[in-house]
Amino acid sequence: MDREYAQPLDVEALARGVHMSAGHLSREFKAAYGESPYGYLMTRRIERAMALLRRGDLSVTEVCFEVGCSSLGTFSTRFTELVGMSPSAYRRLEADAAAGIPSCLAKQVTRPRR
Residue 43 counted as domain residue: yes
DSSP state of 8: P
| Average confidence (pLDDT) over 22-33 | 95
47-83 pLDDT, tens digit per residue, is 999 999 988 889 999 999 999 999 999 999 999 999 9
| Residue type present at position 50 | M
Residue 6 counted as domain residue: no
pLDDT of residue 108: 61
Residue 2 counted as domain residue: no
Residue 88 counted as domain residue: yes
Residue 1 counted as domain residue: no
- The domain that holds 35 is classified in CATH as 1.10.10.60
What is the number of other CB atoms lying within 10 angstroms of the CB of residue 43? 20
Total number of domains constituting the chain:
1
| Average confidence (pLDDT) over 24-42 | 94
What domain range is 45 assigned to? 11-109
Residue 114 has pLDDT above 60, yes or no: no
Residue 99 counted as domain residue: yes
81-109 pLDDT, tens digit per residue, is 999 999 999 998 876 665 666 766 666 65
> Alpha-carbon distance 100 to 15, whole Å?
42
DSSP for the chain, written as a single string: --S-TTSPP-HHHHHHHTT--HHHHHHHHHHHHSS-HHHHHHHHHHHHHHHHHHH--S-HHHHHHHTT-S-HHHHHHHHHHHHSS-HHHHHHHHHHHTTTS-HHHHHHHT----
Residue 47 counted as domain residue: yes
Residue 74 counted as domain residue: yes
